[in-house]
Amino acid sequence: MAQENSFPKISKELKFVLECTHDINKAAEIKELFPLLQWDNVINMAMTHRLFPFVYNAMRQFGSSEVPENVIKLLQQEYMKSAIKVVGIADEIVRIVNFMRDYGIQPLILKGPPLSVRINEDITLRPSSDIDILVDPLEFEKAEKILELMEYTRISPDFLLTPRKRKFYYKNDHHFEYFHNKHAILVELHWRIRSFDVKLFPTASSLSTQKINITECLVPVMDDEYWLMYLMVHGYKHMWTRLRWLYDIKEFLNNNLDWDKIIFIANNSELKSILHQTVILLNVLFDVSIPDQLQESVVNDQKAWQLSNTVMENLCENTNKENLPNLKFSRLKNVNYYNFSSRWRNMLIYISSLFKPTKDEFELIVLPDILFPLYYLIKIFNLLWKRIKSTCNFINIYFLKP
């Protein structure tokens, strides 16, 4: 497609990492890259995109003398550490699912080991750092209390939530975070799927589900088509800063999927451009053919090409460790990326977001619920104070220092 030619080219190190995710038939192409590589950047890319298990396995199979020994040793250490973590997460998923079932809640696991099983992959090949759980909004507080019974502590938000603050979070956010000190495991408990313009995505109790066998426990997850759509939304939301998420989808496409249903979900939830962005990136980065059902609509979706170009630009922007790949866009650029509506609506959303209170205001002063509207005023003062400090620092650095 002509639009692909306008994308910036990824670095040879990132290309090498992506090639390592292919089967051994790609060995010749992979070994050709060896003399061109900066191995520090290879490691950075592999770790950043959570694809280091594939790179380690490829290096072990090749046994090439061209690969520095310290590179293989480091990858081996990271792989073993990750594998142990993932096995622990799998056990904890089973514990949480069984515990919540005993209290009448069916949680849906969103990623992690169940996803590895669904794409027919060894669970140790997919690094996981937390457990994402979706529950019905009406059961969220009950699920939260169950986690507390299991010795989890809420760490975000990490302050007392009054009814008004809780209502504010329910409206403007989509999950809370909990940590188990003994097991060193983080849980993100979601009450909805949320990513700026994501609309009409069913709640947990409205989704059709399937069961995935994890260590003899049947763990509930979404059906394939909604699960795939969720994975696309998740990658888009995080601007595909980890290409492991895109690899998951590449492998997921090997399942027998109902593309008519996927297209219906995308249309109904106004996610068509996210679907198109995903298949464009799969085609560019993993050489996956665009499904026949989407060929025409993808070509004509300019928003999807813009979204894809934004991701490609940031993937290619830097290969230095400090910036790899650093997608900390300006807030306004975030709004333009995430919002599919008009430029004026983007600007209104951006302006209104500036005046919504955040954790900073809630922690600065504790107000009773009857005075909750004052947090909006405190937010304005906070913005002004930060701007004044920023201006003073600028003057001090550029005009007053000798």
- Domain boundary (175, 204, 222) is at 222
- Does residue 2 register a pLDDT over 70? no
Backbone angles phi, psi at 259, to 5 degrees: -70, -30
Mean pLDDT of the region 124-149? 96
Any idea which of 1-5, 77-81, 383-387, 397-401 has the lowest mean pLDDT?
1-5
> At 115, is the pLDDT very low, low, confident or very high (cuts 50, 70, 90)?
very high
- Does residue 287 register a pLDDT over 70? yes
Mean pLDDT of the region 222-249? 95
- Nearest CA-CA partner of 287 in 27, 57, 26: 26
Q: What is the CATH number of the domain that holds 107?
A: 3.30.460.40
Cα separation, 302 vs 284, in Å, equals: 16
Cα separation, 88 vs 222, in Å, equals: 22
Q: Which amino acid is at 328?
A: K
Q: Which amino acid is at 214?
A: I
Give residues with Cβ within 8 angstroms of 192, minimum separation 6.
134, 137, 174, 201, 203
CB count within 10 Å of CB 186 equals 18
- Does residue 107 register a pLDDT over 90? yes
What's the distance, Cα to Cα, between the start and end of the chain in Å?
55
| 182, part of any domain | yes
Residue 26: what pLDDT? 64
| 20, part of any domain | no
Q: 76 burial class (0-12, 13-18, 19+ CB within 10 angstroms)?
A: middle
Residue 186: what pLDDT? 98
- How much of the chain is in helix, strand and coil states, percent to nearest 5? 60, 10, 30
**Counted domains in the chain:** 2
> At 24, is the pLDDT very low, low, confident or very high (cuts 50, 70, 90)?
low
| 186, part of any domain | yes
- Nearest CA-CA partner of 307 in 270, 346, 281: 281
Residue 220: what pLDDT? 97
| 70, part of any domain | no
Residue 394: what pLDDT? 66
- Domain boundary (198, 222, 246) is at 222
| 138, part of any domain | yes
Any idea which of 294-298, 315-319, 356-360 has the lowest mean pLDDT?
315-319
* Geometric angle at alpha carbon 221, from 107 and 169, rounded to 5°: 45
- Domain boundary (206, 222, 238) is at 222
Say what the pTM is: 0.88
Mean pLDDT of the region 1-28? 79
Give me 244's structure tokens.
């492991």
Mean pLDDT of the region 291-298? 94
Alpha-carbon dihedral angle through residues 250, 253, 255, 257, given to the nearest 10 degrees: 160
- Nearest CA-CA partner of 307 in 282, 276, 343, 342: 276
- Tell me which residue range forms the domain holding 388: 355-402
> At 324, is the pLDDT very low, low, confident or very high (cuts 50, 70, 90)?
very low
105: DSSP letter:
-
- Does residue 156 register a pLDDT over 70? yes
Residue bearing tokens 């500036």: 354
pLDDT in tens, 238-261: 999 999 999 999 999 999 999 999
Cα separation, 180 vs 91, in Å, equals: 14
| 169, part of any domain | yes
Mean pLDDT of the region 258-274? 92
| 344, part of any domain | no
- Residue 24: C-alpha distances to residues 11, 29, 57, 128 (Å): 22, 10, 10, 25
| 399, part of any domain | yes
